[in-house]
Amino acid sequence: MNVGNCFPINGKIETECLSVALFQMKLAVVPKTREEVMQNVDKIIEWIDRAITGFPGIDMIVTPEASLNGVGPHASLCCVTLYGPELAKLKAVCKEYQIWLAVGACVDEQDGNFYKNCAITINDKGEIVDIYRKVTPWNPVEPSSPGDEIRVFEGPKGSRIASIICSDGDYQDNWREAASKGANVVLRLTTYMTPFENQYEITNRAGAYFNKVYVVAANTSEMDECYSLFGRSMVVNPEGDIIAQAPVGIPYIFKADLYPGLCDAIQKQALMGDLLWLRNHRGAASPDTYGTGSDSTMYSYLEDK
C-alpha cells in the first residue's frame, strides 16, 4: 500500500510568530462629507500609537469594516480615493512605524461604478499591497458595487493573507476560495450587528476549522443609526478555537500571536487536519484507493445533470 503523505512529518515544526493587533473601534464621526473622514483617519493613527506602545514588536494591525467612512446611506457621500490624502496619511504612518495595516474603507475608484467596500492592506514600507473589494455586499441594504475575487497576497512572517468583509464570511465558497488559493490567514473586517452574535462566532470558527486557516475578525463596537454593532472581535486558530477575544460593546485593542507555518505544516499532511486534501483524496486510508484516495470526479453530486 502506497501511503503517500498520509502520516505526520517527523521532527519539530519551525515557524515564525505573526503578532497581530485588532482594533474594535467606533467611528470618531459618522461622516457626511469627505472632509469629515479625516477625523476617523486621525483616530486610527491615535490607536496605532497606543498599540505600538502597548504591544511592542507587533507586525500588523486590523481595523473593522468601513472604519474610515462607516456603512449606511451616507457612505456614498464621503468615499475616499486610492490616491487621496486619507490613505496617504495612513501610508506614511505605516512606513514611519514599520507596521502593516489592514483598513476598511468605502472607495470611489472613479471607474464609472458605484463605490466599493474595500479592505486595503498597507505594508511596513508604506505601500498598498492589496485592495480587496467585498464580493457579497449585504442584501438588501448595502448598495456597494461587488468585487469579483478573493485575493491572496504575501504578508509578514510567512503569512499568505486573504481579506474578506463581513457578510462575505456567511458564504462558504468565499472561505474555500481563500484557502484554495493558499491563504493561511484570513482577515475578516466586519460591522456585524445584533441579533447575529451566534452567527458571527459560528462562521468565524467554521471558516477557520474547515479551511485550516487563522481567522482574524475585527468588528465594530457602537450604536449607529439603526443597529447595535456588538464587538466581540476574535482570533480563531486552525482548529476552530477562539484564542483571543474582545468584550461585548466597548472599544478595545488586543493582540494575538499567530503561527502561519502551522497551517502550512497541516497542509503537507493528509491526516484528519487537512480537510482540503481529504476533499480531493477521499477514502485514502482504504487499500482500494492505494493510499491516495479518489478525486472528486467519482461523486455523483458533482456530475453535470
| pLDDT tens digits along 204-219 | 999 999 999 999 999 9
Phi/psi at 103 (5° precision): -125, 140
**305, three cell numbers:** 445533470
pLDDT for residue 269:
67
State whether the Cα torsion 152-153-159-161 is positive or negative. Answer: negative
pLDDT for residue 141:
82
Highest mean pLDDT: which of 119-128, 257-266, 274-283? 119-128
> Per-residue pLDDT tens for 161-202?
999 999 999 999 999 999 999 999 999 999 999 999 999 999
pLDDT for residue 75:
85
Whole-number Å distance between alpha carbons of 182 and 88 = 30
What confidence tier does 294 reach under pLDDT thresholds 50, 70, 90? confident
Task: Tell me: pLDDT of 305 over 50.
Answer: no
Segment 2-12 mean pLDDT: 44
246 or 15, which is more confident? 246
pTM tops 0.75 = yes
Residue 60: enclosing H or E segment and its boundaries?
Answer: strand 60-62
What confidence tier does 3 reach under pLDDT thresholds 50, 70, 90? very low
**30-44, 104-118, 142-156, 290-304: least confidently modelled range:** 290-304
What confidence tier does 7 reach under pLDDT thresholds 50, 70, 90? very low
What confidence tier does 261 reach under pLDDT thresholds 50, 70, 90? very high
Segment 224-230 mean pLDDT: 82
Q: What is the DSSP letter of 174?
A: H
272 or 112, which is more confident? 112
- Active site (catalytic) residues: 65, 134, 166
Measured at the CA of 173, the angle between CA 158 and CA 103, to 5 degrees, comes to: 50
Are 131 and 118 in contact, with CB atoms under 8 Å apart? yes
Segment 60-82 mean pLDDT: 92
pLDDT for residue 296:
62
Whole-number Å distance between alpha carbons of 29 and 96 = 26
267 or 107, which is more confident? 107
Q: Percent of the chain beyond pLDDT 70? A: 89
Task: Tell me: pLDDT of 14 over 80.
Answer: no
